[in-house]
Chains A and B, each alone.
Chain A
Amino acid sequence: MAKATISTETGVALPASGAGRFQGAVGPSSIVLPLGLAFLVLAVWQLYVVIWRVPAVILPSPISITEYIVAHYDILLMHAVPTTVESAAGFLLAVVLGIAIAIVITYSDMAREALYPNLVFFQLIPKIALAPLFIIWLGVGSQSRVAFSVFIAFFPVVIATTAGFLSVDRGILRLCRALTATEWQIFTSVRFPMALPHIFSGMKIAITLAIIGVIIGEFITAQAGLGYLIIFATARADTEVSMAAIVVLCICGLLLYGLVALAEAVANKFYSADSR
Protein backbone atom coordinates (compact mmCIF):
# COMPACT_ATOMS: atom_id res chain seq x y z
CA MET A 1 0.00 0.00 0.00
CA ALA A 2 2.57 2.51 1.13
CA LYS A 3 4.79 1.77 -1.83
CA ALA A 4 1.95 2.23 -4.31
CA THR A 5 1.12 5.59 -2.77
CA ILE A 6 4.67 6.78 -3.09
CA SER A 7 4.97 5.85 -6.74
CA THR A 8 1.70 7.61 -7.52
CA GLU A 9 2.72 10.74 -5.76
CA THR A 10 6.03 11.06 -7.53
CA GLY A 11 4.64 9.98 -10.88
CA VAL A 12 7.96 8.61 -12.08
CA ALA A 13 9.86 5.61 -10.84
CA LEU A 14 12.64 7.21 -8.84
CA PRO A 15 15.93 5.35 -8.45
CA ALA A 16 15.72 3.04 -5.46
CA SER A 17 17.16 4.68 -2.39
CA GLY A 18 18.29 3.12 0.86
CA ALA A 19 14.70 2.82 1.97
CA GLY A 20 12.79 -0.14 0.57
CA ARG A 21 14.44 -2.63 -1.70
CA PHE A 22 13.20 -2.41 -5.30
CA GLN A 23 9.99 -0.80 -6.44
CA GLY A 24 6.82 -2.41 -5.27
CA ALA A 25 3.55 -3.15 -7.04
CA VAL A 26 2.02 -0.44 -9.22
CA GLY A 27 -1.49 0.69 -8.41
CA PRO A 28 -4.12 1.19 -11.15
CA SER A 29 -4.09 4.98 -10.86
CA SER A 30 -0.35 5.08 -11.51
CA ILE A 31 -1.07 3.66 -14.98
CA VAL A 32 -4.29 5.52 -15.76
CA LEU A 33 -3.10 8.99 -14.71
CA PRO A 34 0.09 9.28 -16.78
CA LEU A 35 -1.55 7.65 -19.82
CA GLY A 36 -4.53 9.98 -19.53
CA LEU A 37 -2.28 13.01 -19.36
CA ALA A 38 -0.28 11.84 -22.38
CA PHE A 39 -3.45 11.37 -24.44
CA LEU A 40 -4.67 14.77 -23.39
CA VAL A 41 -1.45 16.42 -24.55
CA LEU A 42 -1.60 14.57 -27.89
CA ALA A 43 -5.23 15.58 -28.39
CA VAL A 44 -4.48 19.24 -27.70
CA TRP A 45 -1.53 19.07 -30.08
CA GLN A 46 -3.68 17.52 -32.84
CA LEU A 47 -6.46 20.08 -32.39
CA TYR A 48 -3.98 22.96 -32.29
CA VAL A 49 -2.36 21.85 -35.58
CA VAL A 50 -5.72 21.30 -37.30
CA ILE A 51 -7.50 24.44 -36.07
CA TRP A 52 -4.64 26.87 -36.64
CA ARG A 53 -3.51 25.08 -39.82
CA VAL A 54 0.11 24.89 -38.67
CA PRO A 55 2.37 23.96 -41.61
CA ALA A 56 3.87 20.46 -41.37
CA VAL A 57 7.40 21.89 -41.58
CA ILE A 58 6.86 23.71 -38.30
CA LEU A 59 4.83 21.07 -36.47
CA PRO A 60 3.32 17.96 -38.04
CA SER A 61 0.26 16.55 -36.28
CA PRO A 62 0.43 13.37 -34.18
CA ILE A 63 -1.81 11.58 -36.67
CA SER A 64 0.33 12.45 -39.68
CA ILE A 65 3.46 11.38 -37.79
CA THR A 66 1.77 8.08 -36.95
CA GLU A 67 0.77 7.63 -40.59
CA TYR A 68 4.34 8.24 -41.69
CA ILE A 69 5.65 5.67 -39.23
CA VAL A 70 3.15 3.07 -40.39
CA ALA A 71 3.92 3.74 -44.06
CA HIS A 72 7.71 3.79 -43.73
CA TYR A 73 8.31 1.44 -40.83
CA ASP A 74 10.93 -0.49 -42.86
CA ILE A 75 13.16 2.57 -43.33
CA LEU A 76 12.72 3.59 -39.73
CA LEU A 77 13.51 0.08 -38.54
CA MET A 78 16.64 0.02 -40.65
CA HIS A 79 17.85 3.13 -38.82
CA ALA A 80 16.59 1.99 -35.42
CA VAL A 81 18.64 -1.20 -35.40
CA PRO A 82 22.17 0.31 -35.31
CA THR A 83 21.09 2.93 -32.76
CA THR A 84 19.57 0.32 -30.46
CA VAL A 85 22.42 -2.15 -30.83
CA GLU A 86 25.07 0.50 -30.21
CA SER A 87 23.13 1.84 -27.20
CA ALA A 88 22.81 -1.63 -25.75
CA ALA A 89 26.51 -2.28 -26.30
CA GLY A 90 27.46 1.05 -24.74
CA PHE A 91 25.17 0.37 -21.81
CA LEU A 92 26.49 -3.13 -21.13
CA LEU A 93 30.10 -2.00 -21.32
CA ALA A 94 29.29 0.96 -19.06
CA VAL A 95 27.74 -1.39 -16.49
CA VAL A 96 30.72 -3.77 -16.58
CA LEU A 97 33.19 -0.91 -16.37
CA GLY A 98 31.17 0.87 -13.69
CA ILE A 99 30.91 -2.21 -11.48
CA ALA A 100 34.59 -3.00 -11.99
CA ILE A 101 35.59 0.52 -10.90
CA ALA A 102 33.21 0.27 -7.95
CA ILE A 103 34.87 -2.97 -6.85
CA VAL A 104 38.31 -1.36 -7.03
CA ILE A 105 37.06 1.66 -5.08
CA THR A 106 35.44 -0.58 -2.48
CA TYR A 107 38.40 -2.83 -1.87
CA SER A 108 41.36 -0.49 -2.20
CA ASP A 109 41.65 2.59 -0.03
CA MET A 110 44.49 3.84 -2.17
CA ALA A 111 42.49 3.43 -5.37
CA ARG A 112 39.54 5.15 -3.76
CA GLU A 113 41.60 8.13 -2.71
CA ALA A 114 43.35 8.35 -6.06
CA LEU A 115 40.34 7.68 -8.28
CA TYR A 116 37.32 9.20 -6.66
CA PRO A 117 38.19 12.92 -6.76
CA ASN A 118 39.27 12.55 -10.37
CA LEU A 119 36.05 10.81 -11.31
CA VAL A 120 34.01 13.56 -9.71
CA PHE A 121 36.13 16.22 -11.39
CA PHE A 122 35.55 14.45 -14.69
CA GLN A 123 31.84 14.77 -14.20
CA LEU A 124 32.18 18.54 -14.10
CA ILE A 125 33.36 18.58 -17.72
CA PRO A 126 30.36 18.94 -20.05
CA LYS A 127 31.03 15.59 -21.64
CA ILE A 128 29.19 16.35 -24.85
CA ALA A 129 32.00 18.76 -25.66
CA LEU A 130 34.34 15.77 -25.90
CA ALA A 131 32.25 13.90 -28.48
CA PRO A 132 34.17 15.17 -31.54
CA LEU A 133 37.44 14.01 -29.94
CA PHE A 134 36.17 10.45 -29.82
CA ILE A 135 35.72 10.59 -33.57
CA ILE A 136 39.26 11.87 -34.02
CA TRP A 137 40.57 9.08 -31.76
CA LEU A 138 38.40 6.18 -32.87
CA GLY A 139 37.19 7.05 -36.36
CA VAL A 140 33.71 7.33 -37.75
CA GLY A 141 32.61 3.73 -37.13
CA SER A 142 30.48 2.22 -34.39
CA GLN A 143 33.38 2.01 -32.00
CA SER A 144 33.59 5.77 -31.48
CA ARG A 145 29.85 6.03 -30.75
CA VAL A 146 29.88 3.05 -28.41
CA ALA A 147 32.96 4.38 -26.64
CA PHE A 148 31.36 7.80 -26.21
CA SER A 149 28.20 6.15 -24.95
CA VAL A 150 30.19 4.21 -22.34
CA PHE A 151 32.02 7.39 -21.40
CA ILE A 152 28.75 9.21 -20.76
CA ALA A 153 26.94 6.34 -19.02
CA PHE A 154 29.40 4.63 -16.68
CA PHE A 155 29.58 7.20 -13.90
CA PRO A 156 26.13 6.70 -12.35
CA VAL A 157 26.84 2.98 -12.22
CA VAL A 158 30.10 3.62 -10.34
CA ILE A 159 28.43 5.91 -7.82
CA ALA A 160 25.37 3.73 -7.23
CA THR A 161 27.31 0.47 -7.07
CA THR A 162 29.95 1.84 -4.71
CA ALA A 163 27.20 3.14 -2.44
CA GLY A 164 25.64 -0.32 -2.55
CA PHE A 165 28.86 -2.18 -1.76
CA LEU A 166 29.60 0.16 1.13
CA SER A 167 26.05 0.03 2.50
CA VAL A 168 26.58 -3.49 3.83
CA ASP A 169 25.87 -3.78 7.51
CA ARG A 170 29.11 -4.03 9.51
CA GLY A 171 27.57 -6.65 11.75
CA ILE A 172 27.00 -8.96 8.81
CA LEU A 173 30.58 -8.47 7.66
CA ARG A 174 31.81 -9.30 11.15
CA LEU A 175 29.65 -12.40 11.19
CA CYS A 176 31.13 -13.51 7.86
CA ARG A 177 34.68 -12.96 9.14
CA ALA A 178 33.89 -14.91 12.29
CA LEU A 179 32.75 -17.75 10.01
CA THR A 180 36.12 -17.66 8.22
CA ALA A 181 34.46 -16.47 5.00
CA THR A 182 36.82 -15.48 2.20
CA GLU A 183 36.56 -12.02 0.61
CA TRP A 184 35.16 -13.70 -2.49
CA GLN A 185 32.46 -15.43 -0.46
CA ILE A 186 31.58 -12.18 1.27
CA PHE A 187 31.38 -10.46 -2.11
CA THR A 188 29.19 -13.03 -3.80
CA SER A 189 26.92 -13.90 -0.90
CA VAL A 190 26.59 -10.54 0.84
CA ARG A 191 28.01 -7.47 -0.85
CA PHE A 192 26.75 -8.06 -4.35
CA PRO A 193 23.17 -9.05 -3.49
CA MET A 194 23.06 -6.23 -0.94
CA ALA A 195 24.13 -3.77 -3.65
CA LEU A 196 21.69 -5.01 -6.30
CA PRO A 197 18.96 -2.40 -5.74
CA HIS A 198 21.62 0.30 -5.96
CA ILE A 199 23.14 -1.25 -9.06
CA PHE A 200 19.78 -1.33 -10.78
CA SER A 201 19.05 2.29 -9.98
CA GLY A 202 22.43 3.17 -11.48
CA MET A 203 21.66 1.03 -14.52
CA LYS A 204 18.34 2.79 -15.12
CA ILE A 205 20.13 6.11 -15.32
CA ALA A 206 22.92 4.58 -17.40
CA ILE A 207 20.60 3.19 -20.07
CA THR A 208 19.13 6.61 -20.85
CA LEU A 209 22.59 8.18 -20.91
CA ALA A 210 23.91 5.42 -23.17
CA ILE A 211 21.24 6.23 -25.76
CA ILE A 212 22.06 9.94 -25.55
CA GLY A 213 25.71 9.10 -26.16
CA VAL A 214 24.95 7.14 -29.31
CA ILE A 215 22.57 9.78 -30.69
CA ILE A 216 25.16 12.51 -30.20
CA GLY A 217 27.68 10.33 -31.98
CA GLU A 218 25.26 9.87 -34.85
CA PHE A 219 24.59 13.61 -35.01
CA ILE A 220 28.28 14.22 -35.57
CA THR A 221 29.08 11.47 -37.98
CA ALA A 222 27.09 8.52 -39.21
CA GLN A 223 25.60 7.07 -42.36
CA ALA A 224 22.79 5.34 -40.54
CA GLY A 225 20.94 5.43 -37.23
CA LEU A 226 18.07 7.45 -35.84
CA GLY A 227 20.35 10.32 -34.85
CA TYR A 228 21.60 10.47 -38.41
CA LEU A 229 18.03 10.36 -39.73
CA ILE A 230 16.97 13.23 -37.45
CA ILE A 231 19.86 15.45 -38.55
CA PHE A 232 19.44 14.50 -42.20
CA ALA A 233 15.66 15.12 -42.24
CA THR A 234 15.90 18.35 -40.26
CA ALA A 235 18.50 19.70 -42.69
CA ARG A 236 15.99 19.11 -45.51
CA ALA A 237 13.16 20.66 -43.48
CA ASP A 238 11.48 17.26 -43.47
CA THR A 239 10.07 17.73 -39.99
CA GLU A 240 7.66 14.83 -40.26
CA VAL A 241 10.49 12.35 -40.83
CA SER A 242 12.49 13.90 -38.05
CA MET A 243 9.56 13.62 -35.64
CA ALA A 244 8.84 10.06 -36.73
CA ALA A 245 12.48 9.19 -36.02
CA ILE A 246 12.18 10.76 -32.59
CA VAL A 247 9.07 8.69 -31.83
CA VAL A 248 10.85 5.51 -32.88
CA LEU A 249 13.80 6.55 -30.74
CA CYS A 250 11.45 6.87 -27.76
CA ILE A 251 10.12 3.39 -28.44
CA CYS A 252 13.66 1.96 -28.63
CA GLY A 253 14.55 3.76 -25.41
CA LEU A 254 11.47 2.37 -23.69
CA LEU A 255 12.34 -1.09 -24.93
CA LEU A 256 15.87 -0.91 -23.51
CA TYR A 257 14.65 0.59 -20.25
CA GLY A 258 12.01 -2.13 -20.08
CA LEU A 259 14.69 -4.81 -20.41
CA VAL A 260 16.56 -3.32 -17.46
CA ALA A 261 13.34 -3.16 -15.45
CA LEU A 262 12.65 -6.77 -16.40
CA ALA A 263 16.11 -7.81 -15.22
CA GLU A 264 15.39 -5.98 -11.99
CA ALA A 265 12.11 -7.83 -11.58
CA VAL A 266 13.89 -11.15 -12.10
CA ALA A 267 16.55 -10.22 -9.52
CA ASN A 268 13.72 -9.13 -7.26
CA LYS A 269 12.39 -12.67 -7.30
CA PHE A 270 15.57 -13.90 -5.67
CA TYR A 271 16.73 -10.96 -3.63
CA SER A 272 13.63 -9.20 -2.41
CA ALA A 273 13.15 -8.68 1.31
CA ASP A 274 9.50 -9.78 1.18
CA SER A 275 8.49 -13.36 0.64
CA ARG A 276 5.94 -13.51 -2.12
Chain B
Amino acid sequence: MPSVPLKADHLVAEAPLVSVANVQKTYFTRQSPIHAVASASVDVARGEFVSLLGPSGCGKSTLLMMIAGLEKPTAGVITLAGAAVAAPRRDIGVIFQDATLLPWKSTLENVLFPIRILKLPLDKYRDRAHELLKMVGLAGFENKKPGELSGGMRQRVAICRALIHDPEILLMDEPFSALDAITRDQMNVALSEILEAYRKTVIFVTHSIREAAFLSDRVVVMGGRPSTIILDKKMPFARPRRFEIEETQEFAQVCRELRLTIEAAHGQRQGHGQGHGQGHGLGGARADGRQQPVKASAAGASIIE
Protein backbone atom coordinates (compact mmCIF):
# COMPACT_ATOMS: atom_id res chain seq x y z
CA MET B 1 0.00 0.00 0.00
CA PRO B 2 1.43 3.39 -0.95
CA SER B 3 2.48 5.35 2.07
CA VAL B 4 2.00 9.04 2.53
CA PRO B 5 5.25 10.76 1.70
CA LEU B 6 6.31 13.36 4.21
CA LYS B 7 8.43 15.56 2.06
CA ALA B 8 7.52 18.84 3.63
CA ASP B 9 10.25 18.84 6.29
CA HIS B 10 13.38 18.85 4.21
CA LEU B 11 11.96 20.78 1.30
CA VAL B 12 10.77 23.89 3.07
CA ALA B 13 12.52 26.46 0.96
CA GLU B 14 11.84 24.54 -2.20
CA ALA B 15 10.47 26.00 -5.42
CA PRO B 16 6.66 26.00 -5.58
CA LEU B 17 5.04 22.73 -6.59
CA VAL B 18 2.50 24.46 -8.80
CA SER B 19 3.46 27.65 -10.54
CA VAL B 20 1.06 29.66 -12.65
CA ALA B 21 2.85 32.53 -14.38
CA ASN B 22 1.06 35.26 -16.35
CA VAL B 23 -1.50 32.82 -17.62
CA GLN B 24 -4.16 34.07 -19.96
CA LYS B 25 -7.02 32.14 -21.50
CA THR B 26 -9.26 33.16 -24.34
CA TYR B 27 -11.89 30.78 -25.71
CA PHE B 28 -12.29 31.27 -29.42
CA THR B 29 -15.92 30.50 -30.09
CA ARG B 30 -17.98 30.97 -33.22
CA GLN B 31 -19.15 34.32 -31.92
CA SER B 32 -16.75 36.74 -30.28
CA PRO B 33 -13.75 35.45 -28.32
CA ILE B 34 -14.34 34.96 -24.58
CA HIS B 35 -11.62 36.28 -22.32
CA ALA B 36 -12.04 33.84 -19.44
CA VAL B 37 -8.80 34.71 -17.63
CA ALA B 38 -6.99 37.94 -18.45
CA SER B 39 -3.91 37.35 -16.37
CA ALA B 40 -3.20 35.07 -13.44
CA SER B 41 -0.07 34.30 -11.47
CA VAL B 42 -0.18 32.00 -8.45
CA ASP B 43 2.39 29.83 -6.75
CA VAL B 44 1.33 26.91 -4.60
CA ALA B 45 3.81 25.27 -2.26
CA ARG B 46 3.90 21.55 -1.58
CA GLY B 47 1.29 20.64 1.00
CA GLU B 48 -0.49 23.95 0.77
CA PHE B 49 -4.28 24.36 0.50
CA VAL B 50 -5.14 27.24 -1.80
CA SER B 51 -8.67 28.32 -2.69
CA LEU B 52 -9.63 30.15 -5.84
CA LEU B 53 -12.55 32.35 -4.82
CA GLY B 54 -14.75 34.51 -7.00
CA PRO B 55 -18.19 34.93 -8.52
CA SER B 56 -19.45 32.54 -11.17
CA GLY B 57 -17.96 33.10 -14.59
CA CYS B 58 -14.74 34.70 -13.41
CA GLY B 59 -12.61 31.90 -14.82
CA LYS B 60 -11.91 29.80 -11.71
CA SER B 61 -12.78 26.52 -13.42
CA THR B 62 -10.87 27.56 -16.50
CA LEU B 63 -7.75 28.17 -14.45
CA LEU B 64 -8.16 24.86 -12.63
CA MET B 65 -8.68 22.97 -15.90
CA MET B 66 -5.48 24.52 -17.24
CA ILE B 67 -3.60 23.33 -14.17
CA ALA B 68 -5.10 19.87 -14.70
CA GLY B 69 -3.82 19.90 -18.28
CA LEU B 70 -7.37 19.70 -19.66
CA GLU B 71 -7.20 23.15 -21.25
CA LYS B 72 -4.23 24.93 -22.79
CA PRO B 73 -3.38 28.50 -21.75
CA THR B 74 -3.55 31.03 -24.56
CA ALA B 75 -0.47 32.69 -23.06
CA GLY B 76 1.72 32.15 -20.02
CA VAL B 77 3.15 29.03 -18.44
CA ILE B 78 1.96 26.55 -15.83
CA THR B 79 4.55 24.26 -14.27
CA LEU B 80 4.15 21.35 -11.88
CA ALA B 81 7.30 20.49 -9.99
CA GLY B 82 9.25 22.48 -12.54
CA ALA B 83 7.84 20.77 -15.64
CA ALA B 84 5.45 22.62 -17.95
CA VAL B 85 1.93 21.17 -18.02
CA ALA B 86 1.11 20.02 -21.53
CA ALA B 87 -1.41 17.25 -20.89
CA PRO B 88 -3.18 15.60 -17.96
CA ARG B 89 -0.86 13.88 -15.50
CA ARG B 90 -1.15 10.81 -13.34
CA ASP B 91 -0.12 12.56 -10.14
CA ILE B 92 -3.22 14.75 -10.06
CA GLY B 93 -6.58 13.88 -8.54
CA VAL B 94 -9.65 15.83 -9.63
CA ILE B 95 -13.07 16.32 -8.06
CA PHE B 96 -15.89 18.15 -9.76
CA GLN B 97 -19.18 19.64 -8.66
CA ASP B 98 -20.97 16.45 -9.65
CA ALA B 99 -19.57 13.25 -8.22
CA THR B 100 -19.45 11.79 -11.79
CA LEU B 101 -19.58 8.21 -10.53
CA LEU B 102 -20.29 5.35 -12.90
CA PRO B 103 -23.88 4.39 -12.06
CA TRP B 104 -23.46 0.65 -12.61
CA LYS B 105 -20.36 0.30 -10.49
CA SER B 106 -20.37 -0.22 -6.75
CA THR B 107 -18.86 2.29 -4.36
CA LEU B 108 -15.70 0.21 -4.10
CA GLU B 109 -15.38 -0.23 -7.86
CA ASN B 110 -15.87 3.48 -8.38
CA VAL B 111 -13.12 4.27 -5.91
CA LEU B 112 -10.84 1.82 -7.72
CA PHE B 113 -11.68 3.22 -11.17
CA PRO B 114 -8.46 5.31 -11.47
CA ILE B 115 -6.43 2.22 -10.61
CA ARG B 116 -7.95 0.42 -13.59
CA ILE B 117 -7.39 3.35 -15.90
CA LEU B 118 -3.81 3.83 -14.71
CA LYS B 119 -3.22 0.05 -14.99
CA LEU B 120 -1.93 -0.21 -11.44
CA PRO B 121 -2.20 -3.53 -9.56
CA LEU B 122 -5.77 -3.63 -8.22
CA ASP B 123 -4.96 -5.99 -5.36
CA LYS B 124 -2.49 -3.57 -3.87
CA TYR B 125 -5.04 -0.78 -3.73
CA ARG B 126 -8.07 -2.62 -2.41
CA ASP B 127 -7.03 -2.17 1.22
CA ARG B 128 -6.37 1.49 0.64
CA ALA B 129 -9.83 1.89 -0.90
CA HIS B 130 -11.43 0.32 2.18
CA GLU B 131 -9.31 2.51 4.41
CA LEU B 132 -10.33 5.67 2.53
CA LEU B 133 -13.99 4.74 2.60
CA LYS B 134 -13.76 4.15 6.31
CA MET B 135 -12.07 7.52 6.73
CA VAL B 136 -15.00 9.32 5.07
CA GLY B 137 -17.56 7.31 7.04
CA LEU B 138 -18.65 5.01 4.23
CA ALA B 139 -17.53 1.70 5.70
CA GLY B 140 -20.29 -0.79 4.96
CA PHE B 141 -21.37 0.99 1.76
CA GLU B 142 -18.74 -0.68 -0.44
CA ASN B 143 -21.26 -2.66 -2.46
CA LYS B 144 -23.93 0.02 -2.84
CA LYS B 145 -24.44 1.65 -6.21
CA PRO B 146 -24.29 5.46 -6.55
CA GLY B 147 -28.06 5.63 -7.02
CA GLU B 148 -28.48 4.34 -3.48
CA LEU B 149 -26.27 7.00 -1.91
CA SER B 150 -27.10 10.58 -0.91
CA GLY B 151 -25.45 13.52 -2.66
CA GLY B 152 -23.00 14.01 0.21
CA MET B 153 -22.09 10.32 0.23
CA ARG B 154 -21.52 10.35 -3.52
CA GLN B 155 -19.19 13.31 -3.19
CA ARG B 156 -17.29 11.45 -0.46
CA VAL B 157 -16.87 8.53 -2.83
CA ALA B 158 -15.53 10.98 -5.41
CA ILE B 159 -13.01 12.24 -2.84
CA CYS B 160 -11.86 8.68 -2.13
CA ARG B 161 -11.58 8.07 -5.86
CA ALA B 162 -9.43 11.18 -6.27
CA LEU B 163 -7.13 10.02 -3.45
CA ILE B 164 -6.88 6.33 -4.33
CA HIS B 165 -3.78 6.53 -6.52
CA ASP B 166 -2.11 8.81 -3.97
CA PRO B 167 -1.71 11.83 -6.26
CA GLU B 168 0.52 14.67 -5.21
CA ILE B 169 -2.03 17.31 -6.10
CA LEU B 170 -5.77 17.49 -5.58
CA LEU B 171 -7.79 19.80 -7.80
CA MET B 172 -11.35 20.42 -6.62
CA ASP B 173 -13.89 22.41 -8.63
CA GLU B 174 -16.75 23.53 -6.37
CA PRO B 175 -17.02 20.00 -5.00
CA PHE B 176 -19.70 20.87 -2.47
CA SER B 177 -21.73 23.46 -4.38
CA ALA B 178 -24.50 21.04 -5.23
CA LEU B 179 -24.99 19.99 -1.60
CA ASP B 180 -27.35 21.50 0.95
CA ALA B 181 -25.86 23.91 3.50
CA ILE B 182 -25.78 21.45 6.40
CA THR B 183 -24.18 18.65 4.40
CA ARG B 184 -21.77 21.17 2.97
CA ASP B 185 -20.55 22.22 6.43
CA GLN B 186 -20.10 18.56 7.33
CA MET B 187 -18.15 17.96 4.14
CA ASN B 188 -15.85 20.88 4.91
CA VAL B 189 -14.99 19.38 8.28
CA ALA B 190 -14.63 15.93 6.73
CA LEU B 191 -12.31 17.27 4.04
CA SER B 192 -10.03 18.99 6.51
CA GLU B 193 -9.87 15.78 8.54
CA ILE B 194 -9.04 13.76 5.43
CA LEU B 195 -6.27 16.17 4.55
CA GLU B 196 -4.81 15.90 8.03
CA ALA B 197 -4.52 12.16 7.46
CA TYR B 198 -3.45 12.30 3.81
CA ARG B 199 -1.47 15.45 3.33
CA LYS B 200 -1.94 16.82 -0.19
CA THR B 201 -1.38 19.96 -2.16
CA VAL B 202 -4.88 21.23 -2.86
CA ILE B 203 -6.27 23.82 -5.21
CA PHE B 204 -9.91 24.32 -4.38
CA VAL B 205 -12.38 26.34 -6.44
CA THR B 206 -15.35 27.82 -4.65
CA HIS B 207 -17.68 30.78 -4.67
CA SER B 208 -18.32 30.48 -0.94
CA ILE B 209 -16.29 32.91 1.17
CA ARG B 210 -16.81 30.95 4.39
CA GLU B 211 -15.83 27.68 2.79
CA ALA B 212 -12.65 29.20 1.34
CA ALA B 213 -11.69 30.81 4.66
CA PHE B 214 -12.39 27.67 6.66
CA LEU B 215 -10.44 25.24 4.47
CA SER B 216 -7.53 27.21 3.07
CA ASP B 217 -4.00 28.15 3.96
CA ARG B 218 -4.34 30.87 1.33
CA VAL B 219 -7.30 32.35 -0.50
CA VAL B 220 -6.77 33.72 -3.98
CA VAL B 221 -9.60 35.99 -5.07
CA MET B 222 -10.38 36.26 -8.77
CA GLY B 223 -12.59 38.91 -10.26
CA GLY B 224 -13.04 41.86 -12.56
CA ARG B 225 -13.78 41.80 -16.26
CA PRO B 226 -11.73 40.49 -17.83
CA SER B 227 -10.82 38.49 -14.80
CA THR B 228 -7.55 38.74 -12.89
CA ILE B 229 -6.31 37.86 -9.42
CA ILE B 230 -7.28 40.68 -7.12
CA LEU B 231 -6.19 39.36 -3.72
CA ASP B 232 -3.92 36.63 -2.39
CA LYS B 233 -4.35 36.29 1.36
CA LYS B 234 -3.02 33.91 3.99
CA MET B 235 -5.60 32.50 6.40
CA PRO B 236 -4.34 33.04 9.96
CA PHE B 237 -6.20 30.13 11.61
CA ALA B 238 -4.32 27.29 13.27
CA ARG B 239 -4.74 23.66 12.24
CA PRO B 240 -6.36 21.32 12.89
CA ARG B 241 -9.47 23.36 12.25
CA ARG B 242 -12.80 22.58 13.75
CA PHE B 243 -16.10 24.12 12.98
CA GLU B 244 -15.92 26.41 16.02
CA ILE B 245 -13.43 28.72 14.32
CA GLU B 246 -16.25 29.99 12.16
CA GLU B 247 -17.74 31.60 15.25
CA THR B 248 -14.63 33.60 16.12
CA GLN B 249 -14.23 37.32 15.61
CA GLU B 250 -11.08 36.73 13.61
CA PHE B 251 -12.93 34.51 11.14
CA ALA B 252 -15.64 37.13 10.68
CA GLN B 253 -12.96 39.76 10.05
CA VAL B 254 -11.26 37.68 7.37
CA CYS B 255 -14.54 36.89 5.64
CA ARG B 256 -15.44 40.56 5.70
CA GLU B 257 -12.18 41.54 4.05
CA LEU B 258 -12.66 38.90 1.34
CA ARG B 259 -16.21 40.03 0.76
CA LEU B 260 -15.26 43.68 0.48
CA THR B 261 -12.53 42.85 -2.00
CA ILE B 262 -14.93 40.95 -4.17
CA GLU B 263 -17.55 43.63 -3.89
CA ALA B 264 -15.06 46.29 -4.87
CA ALA B 265 -14.17 44.47 -8.05
CA HIS B 266 -17.77 43.64 -8.61
CA GLY B 267 -19.01 47.14 -7.86
CA GLN B 268 -16.62 48.84 -10.26
CA ARG B 269 -18.02 46.74 -13.00
CA GLN B 270 -21.67 47.05 -12.09
CA GLY B 271 -21.67 50.69 -11.15
CA HIS B 272 -23.78 49.88 -8.09
CA GLY B 273 -22.14 47.41 -5.79
CA GLN B 274 -24.22 48.41 -2.79
CA GLY B 275 -27.27 46.86 -1.39
CA HIS B 276 -27.62 43.55 -3.15
CA GLY B 277 -28.06 40.39 -1.17
CA GLN B 278 -25.03 39.03 0.59
CA GLY B 279 -25.18 35.42 1.52
CA HIS B 280 -21.93 33.71 2.17
CA GLY B 281 -21.91 32.69 -1.47
CA LEU B 282 -21.58 34.72 -4.62
CA GLY B 283 -23.46 32.38 -6.85
CA GLY B 284 -26.01 34.97 -7.84
CA ALA B 285 -23.62 37.01 -9.90
CA ARG B 286 -24.28 35.19 -13.16
CA ALA B 287 -28.01 35.11 -12.69
CA ASP B 288 -28.14 38.72 -11.61
CA GLY B 289 -30.25 40.54 -14.15
CA ARG B 290 -28.57 43.82 -13.38
CA GLN B 291 -25.55 42.72 -15.34
CA GLN B 292 -27.42 43.11 -18.57
CA PRO B 293 -27.03 46.87 -19.17
CA VAL B 294 -23.28 46.61 -18.69
CA LYS B 295 -22.90 44.42 -21.74
CA ALA B 296 -23.92 47.22 -24.01
CA SER B 297 -21.75 49.84 -22.37
CA ALA B 298 -18.29 50.13 -20.88
CA ALA B 299 -17.06 46.56 -20.76
CA GLY B 300 -18.24 45.78 -24.27
CA ALA B 301 -17.38 42.41 -25.75
CA SER B 302 -15.45 41.18 -22.77
CA ILE B 303 -18.64 40.42 -20.87
CA ILE B 304 -19.95 37.17 -22.12
CA GLU B 305 -21.72 34.62 -20.05
Contact = CB atoms under 8 A, between A and B. Distances in A.
B109 to A, nearest CB: 11
A180 B145 contact: no
A172 B97 CA distance: 11
B104 A270 contact: yes
A193 B105 CA distance: 10
Contacts of A178: 68-70, 88, 92, 94, 171
B125 to A, nearest CB: 14
A21 interface: yes
B118 A21 contact: no
Contacts, number: 65
B13 interface: no
B89 interface: yes
A175 interface: yes
Given A174-B96, A189-B117, A179 B88 contact: yes
Interface residues of B, number: 29
A180 B104 contact: no
B168 interface: no
B193 interface: no
A178 to B, nearest CB: 4
B165 to A, nearest CB: 8
Question: Which of A169, A175, A180, A193 counts the most chain B CB atoms within 10 A?
Answer: A175
B100 A175 contact: yes
B148 A274 contact: yes
Interface string A102-119: 000000000000000000
Interface residues of A, number: 22
Interface in A171-197: 171-172, 174-181, 185, 189-190, 193
Contacts of B171: 178
B104 A271 contact: yes
Nearest to A272: B104
B22 interface: no
Given A176-B117, A179-B88, A273-B145, A193 B94 contact: no
B116 interface: yes
Nearest to A170: B100
B145 A275 contact: yes
Interface of A: 21, 169, 171-172, 174-181, 185, 189-190, 193, 270-275
Given A174-B94, A174-B96, A189-B102, 9 more contacts: A171-B98, A172-B102, A175-B96, A179-B90, A180-B88, A180-B89, A180-B117, A273-B104, A275-B106
10 contacts: A169-B100, A174-B94, A175-B94, A178-B68, A179-B90, A179-B118, A189-B113, A189-B116, A272-B145, A273-B103
